[in-house]
Chain A
């Protein structure tokens, strides 16, 4: 089977700092990583390939340096990597991103064989919208399976797939058809350690690089800023609370007294709470 995994290179947001005066992201020296949620999608894709045979193609849209994340994915064992990069894509919102990615996936299909499953992560840690996956599904007319916790079975002959999908208050078991798009839930598997061969191969592999034109995108008005219905009007820092916490003075008090004092302070501020808690506790 042919599996396409759409991954994004993101700044490691654990290490991002905001400039206190200018309110801009200080990204000097901030390492980039594969969006952590996408690793679950990639691992699941690799497992399917190992079980059913076939190939995994990883795809990313981004600046030329996004090549790094593709190399990492090849190191984990992906078979092929495609980088979609063009200045026309700059400033894409989720609608424009899903347009470009869906065109690239169609082109991947023409070039390397049609995909049976397209994977995305649940969401990115920078965009954080969880919209690009459903957007790709809709544009390519793939059956959409979001928040998938487990792929229960695939019947390649019948083109059927059964998955467990996380939903409000429980898990849904769904049967659908290939080709489909799966957004993989986090924590569902653990990324393998790439083999030495894969690592060597990743270093040598040529990455397929496509511009908009090479990916077969004709309508550039659907790309980048022009193709994005949403615009960011204003970026600002959250207003800090004007007061800091009132501290309970701990000097020379027993824990018991401290606890009583804290509880007293709580109920002074929220008098209605005491009878409620007493009722709950009873």
Chain B
């Protein structure tokens, strides 16, 4: 991940061909860890997605999967421990302190780096949320190790190294990145990029509690308040089962009403491509794609969206992609499952009407009998 030179992706010569020789001090780094993100009493689902992915890596390596739970004393934190086990952790590292009530970089970085220095994981995964990104950068720099951001695929190679694959140059290419000669190997993954694993009723495993050696008066940054987002719906876009989105092809802001109506008719969330946000037609948290939300719905309906690579990477995980576009050669038809070449502005009202008819209680009864 060359950051200094925005140059052609480095040819895999030079250092990539270098022998991996882990310095002595890193030889006893073992096991796969997932940072369990807990904010205002809730575990972020991305932590479960990472446990699912971490499980596969740990099994391949023949090591254990651990959750790292950092939080204030109380039921929510205890619950996060139980949930980590339910989603596949073999053990949990646990730091409980009042200082960890609201996220702040200083105490979380301290707690996380202390845990790593003491218990030495070989792989550490975090969600690429605002919290996870804030924390991961500080932890990696403190530990002076490598960190690969926004991975879309994680694997271990024959000699047990983490192979972290991420999009580069706006998703037009993928690159696989290794952290040579340093531990832990750190990676972040965006919410919804990995599938949600099955939750199982499993007994609690071993919990290893660790003290946070930091006092409130040593922390400079104070949280003065928190203002939750007003539109409650937007938070659900990433996790919605059905999503309807509109793009520039809809022509004007007034036609977005069609997208919203369709969403309402089938109980879906609505989203959009980036230009609509740039035009101010939709709020930023409705944007789907590389610089917006990644979604993984069972059904995604895209109207008037061309399917640029930056949009594509955010929707590829959908089970069924339906595209409505006037241009039969639009790139979206290369990755959609069902397509219809027609004017979305004329077609959407008919689609809303047809869905409403089909899903009405009357037809539903027919379906049940």
| Known contacts A13-B169, A135-B141; A129 and B149 CB within 8 A of each other | yes
Residue contact B173 to A23, C-beta cutoff 8 Å: yes
List of A residues within 8 angstroms of B218 by Cβ: none
**Residue B133 at the A interface, CB < 8 A?**
yes
Is B133 in contact with A130, judged by CB distance below 8 angstroms? yes
Out of B170, B337, B350, name the residue touching A245 (CB < 8 Å). B337
Proximity bits, B352-369, A CB within 8 Å = 1, else 0:
011110110101100100
- Binary contact readout B166-209 vs A (1 if CB under 8 angstroms, 0 otherwise): 01111111111111111000000000000000000000000000
Q: Would A269 and B338 count as touching, CB distance under 8 A?
A: yes
Q: Mark B312-337, 1 if CB is under 8 A from A, else 0.
A: 00000001111100001000111111
Instruction: Tell me the residues in window 62-80 of chain A with beta carbons closer than 8 Å to chain B beta carbons.
Output: 62-63
Question: Is the C-beta of B21 less than 8 angstroms from some C-beta in chain A?
Answer: no
B142 within 8 A of A: yes
Residues of B within 8 A of A258 (CB): 340, 342, 347, 350
Q: Chain B contacts of A89 at CB under 8 A?
A: 4-5
| Stretch of A38-46, A103-111, A136-144, A202-210 with 4 or more beta carbons under 8 angstroms from chain B | A136-144
Most buried by A among B1, B150, B319, B354: B1
Comparing B12-20, B48-56, B84-92, the segment that makes contact with chain A is B12-20
Of A49-57, A160-168, A193-201, the segment with at least 4 beta carbons within 8 Å of chain B is A160-168
Q: A130-B149, A134-B134, A266-B322 are in contact. Are A277 and B170 (CB under 8 A)?
A: no
Are B3 and A124 closer than 8 Å at their CB atoms? yes
Given A168-B129, A169-B229, verify A278-B173 contact (CB < 8 Å).
no
Question: Are A248 and B284 in touch, CB under 8 angstroms?
Answer: no
Chain A residues with Cβ below 8 Å from B142 are 138
> Could you give 14 example pairs across A and B, Cβ below 8 Å?
A8-B6, A25-B169, A32-B6, A125-B170, A126-B168, A133-B137, A143-B105, A145-B221, A169-B229, A233-B177, A270-B320, A276-B241, A278-B359, A280-B242
User: Does A245 contact B284, Cβ atoms closer than 8 Å?
Assistant: no
- Say yes or no: is A229 at the interface (Cβ < 8 Å to chain B): yes
Cβ of B271 < 8 Å from any Cβ of A?
no
Q: Tell whether, in the assembled complex, residue A97 and residue B15 are in contact, meaning their CB atoms are under 8 Å apart.
A: no
Q: Which of B137, B146, B221 contacts A130 (CB 8 A)?
A: B137
Q: Are A282 and B340 within 8 A (Cβ)?
A: no
- In Å, the complex CA distance between A174 and B219 comes to 12
Known A-B contacts A18-B173, A146-B134, A266-B299; the reply to A230 vs B147 at CB < 8 A is yes
User: Which A242-262 residues have a C-beta within 8 angstroms of B?
Assistant: 244-248, 250, 255-256, 258-260, 262
- Known A-B contacts: A236-B175, A259-B350. Give 4 more (CB < 8 A): A91-B10, A228-B146, A248-B338, A269-B320
Chain A residues, CB < 8 A from B62: none
Which range contains the number of B residues in contact with the other chain? 35 or more
Partner of A93, one of B3, B8, B241, B340: B3
Asked whether B353 lies within 8 Å of A18 as measured between CB atoms, the reply is no
Residue from the set A171, A236, A262 with the largest chain B CB neighbour count within 10 Å: A262
Residue of B nearest to A167 (CB): B130
In the complex, whether B214 has a CB less than 8 A from a CB of chain A is no
Is B39 on the interface with A (CB-CB < 8 A)? yes
Chain B residues with Cβ below 8 Å from A147 are 130, 134
Instruction: Tell whether B138 is near chain A: CB-to-CB under 8 Å.
Output: yes
- Contact in complex: B6, A171 (CB < 8 Å): no
Q: Which residue of A lies closest to B365 (CB)?
A: A278
Q: Min CB distance, A85 to chain B, in Å?
A: 10
CB neighbours (8 Å) of B109 from chain A are 138
